[in-house]
């Protein structure tokens, strides 16, 4: 389809992630510097359906690079999953004369984008913004590095207080279906082990972790548990330990939404800035239905279909490292 790129729409959707603002800023300024108008869409697909839209100038994105969350707000919308919902979204796109969309979000956001693009032949570019880092085709997603650092700092603080003997501290970490955050945070914080969906040998790992901890007379063991590695999360693991080893005390900390907040790290700000510019560039090159990725330090483009469908596995050497380092 021939189209003139005069106006782009930008939205953030799904779970918010630190660095989304930096991406919105980069998209806005890259577009404006190429003579393209920017319409900011509030509350993700919900705002697209409801027409919650504001034309952005460069000043609208001033002073936001350091702010967590997203100034555009995010939302989850069941209605957008229906054909009627997407029709409403398309009506807004036509009414607002939006020629192309840039969507910042995760797996669900891209699934919705792909369907909308197919149904209405709209150019859409995805920017991976999720703390989970669970998208195929990119080494990092915006927000992941900040969340990783937040978790590491929380575990460091917990470790300071974890002085009593024979206690197992279980820290529940987010991540949807993926263990990247949990495994990497465990490595960074020197935890005894990580319970992740990709490797599930829970009791064996616990026995090993506690056993080794005792051999070294560490007293305290720190175990990171991915929220969905087991039904019931860290609480469920605590129950398993208490049943098998009534002599141990367990302490559960659920980090919850702490992990989503905070000022983005330098890495996330730079990544978001590069990806925002690259998303506009993709539209100028008439690419469609691709996600901007980062591979070996370079910006790449990956079909949305692949980013959604393919499964990224945790790195085997990192898993090994955790075992080696917890003796």
* Sole binder of ligand ATP in the list 109, 189, 250, 289 (CB under 6 A): 109
Pick the piece of the chain touching ligand ATP (CB under 6 A) from 12-20, 157-165, 219-227, 270-278. Answer: 12-20
Pick 13 or 253: Cβ nearer ligand ATP: 13
* Sole binder of ligand ATP in the list 19, 68, 105, 123 (CB under 6 A): 105
Contact indicator for 171, 157 with CB cutoff of 8 Å: no
Give the span between the Cα atoms of 255 and 172, in whole angstroms. Answer: 6
Pick 99 or 107: Cβ nearer ligand ATP: 107
Shortest distance, position 212 Cβ to ligand ATP, whole Å: 34
* Sole binder of ligand ATP in the list 176, 199, 269, 288 (CB under 6 A): 176
Contact indicator for 139, 291 with CB cutoff of 8 Å: no
How many amino acids of this chain bind ligand ATP (CB under 6 A)? 19
Pick the piece of the chain touching ligand ATP (CB under 6 A) from 65-73, 74-82, 210-218, 239-247. Answer: 74-82
Contact indicator for 202, 230 with CB cutoff of 8 Å: yes
Q: x/- contact string, 190-229, with ligand ATP (CB under 6 A)?
A: ----------------------------------------
- 123 belongs to the binding site for ligand ATP (CB under 6 A): no
Pick 24 or 238: Cβ nearer ligand ATP: 24
Active site (annotated) includes residue 50 = no
Considering 99, 107, 132, 145, which one is annotated as catalytic? 132
Q: Which residues contact 224 (CB under 8 A, 6 or more apart)?
A: 151, 155, 170, 171, 173, 182, 185, 186, 189, 191, 193, 194, 195
Pick 272 or 322: Cβ nearer ligand ATP: 272
Torsions phi, psi for 250 (to 5 deg): -115, 150
- 13 belongs to the binding site for ligand ATP (CB under 6 A): yes
Determine the 3-state secondary structure of 292 from DSSP.
Answer: strand
Residues of span 127-146 touching ligand ATP by CB under 6 A: 130, 132
- 15 belongs to the binding site for ligand ATP (CB under 6 A): yes
Task: Give the residue closest to ligand ATP by C-beta.
Answer: 108
Contact indicator for 10, 64 with CB cutoff of 8 Å: no
Token couple for 71: 């100034």
Give the burial class of 316: count Cβ atoms within 10 A of its Cβ; 0-12 exposed, 13-18 middle, 19 or more buried: exposed
Radius of gyration of the chain (CA): 22
**Which string of DSSP letters, residue by residue, matches 120-161?**
HT--EEEEEB-TT---TT-S--BTHHHHHHHHHHHHHHHHHH
Q: Summarize as ranges the residues that interact with ligand ATP (CB under 6 A).
A: 13-15, 45, 76-77, 80-81, 105-109, 111-112, 115, 130, 132, 176
Catalytic positions are 132
């Amino acid at each position: 389809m021939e189209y003139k790129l005069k106006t782009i729409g930008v939205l953030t959707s799904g779970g918010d992630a630190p660095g989304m603002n930096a991406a919105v800023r980069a998209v806005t300024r890259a577009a404006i510097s190429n003579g393209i108008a920017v319409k900011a869409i509030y509350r993700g697909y919900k705002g697209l359906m409801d027409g919650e839209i504001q034309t952005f100038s460069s000043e609208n994105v001033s002073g936001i690079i350091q702010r967590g969350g997203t100034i555009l707000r995010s939302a989850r919308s069941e209605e957008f999953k229906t054909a009627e919902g997407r029709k409403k979204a398309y009506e807004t796109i036509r009414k607002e004369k939006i020629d192309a969309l840039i969507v910042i979000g995760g797996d669900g956001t891209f699934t919705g984008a792909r369907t909308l693009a197919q149904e209405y032949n709209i150019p859409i570019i995805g920017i991976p913004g999720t703390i989970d880092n669970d998208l195929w085709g990119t080494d990092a997603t915006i927000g992941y590095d900040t969340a990783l650092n937040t978790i590491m700092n929380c575990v460091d603080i917990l470790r300071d207080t974890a002085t009593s003997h024979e206690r197992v501290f279980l820290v529940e970490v987010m991540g949807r279906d993926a263990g990247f955050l949990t495994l990497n945070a465990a490595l960074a914080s020197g935890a005894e082990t990580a319970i992740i969906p990709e490797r599930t040998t829970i009791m064996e790992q616990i026995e090993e972790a506690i056993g080794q901890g005792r051999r070294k007379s560490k007293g305290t063991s720190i175990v990171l548990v991915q929220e969905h590695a087991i039904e019931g999360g860290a609480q469920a693991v605590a129950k398993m330990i208490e049943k098998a080893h009534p002599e141990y005390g367990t302490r559960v900390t659920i980090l919850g939404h702490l992990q989503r907040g905070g000022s983005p790290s330098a890495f996330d700000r730079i990544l978001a800035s590069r990806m925002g510019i690259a998303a506009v560039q993709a539209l100028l090159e008439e690419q469609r239905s691709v996600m901007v990725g980062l591979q070996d330090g370079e910006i790449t483009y990956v079909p949305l279909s692949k980013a959604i469908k393919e499964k990224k596995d945790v790195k085997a050497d990192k898993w090994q490292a955790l075992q080696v380092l917890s003796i």
